[in-house]
Structure 1
Amino acid sequence: MTRRAAGPPATARGAPGPAPHARKQRQPRQHTSTREGQR
């Protein structure tokens, strides 16, 4: 596991790669939605 995790951990899990990007995109969207809701 340690040897494989040293190389294809992000590709195998697919979370450490597209996860941070998706979270960053979801955070600004939530903020904008909350601002619109307050307005």
Structure 2
Amino acid sequence: MTTAIDKIFWENSRRYGSRRVVEALKEQGVKAGRHWVRRLM
């Protein structure tokens, strides 16, 4: 899961926060909470 978060984060020039990352994950069909993503980031 951290690799998916890292990929989204770095593909967007490190400008995505946890909220945007969660939205991007939802578009990919991955269910994740914002606080959980924030902790992994």
Which band: TM-score by shorter chain? Answer: 0.3 to 0.5
TM-score by length of 2: 0.31
Q: State the structure with more CA Rg.
A: 1
The structure whose RCO (Cα within 8 Å, separation 6+) is larger is 2
Higher helix share: 1
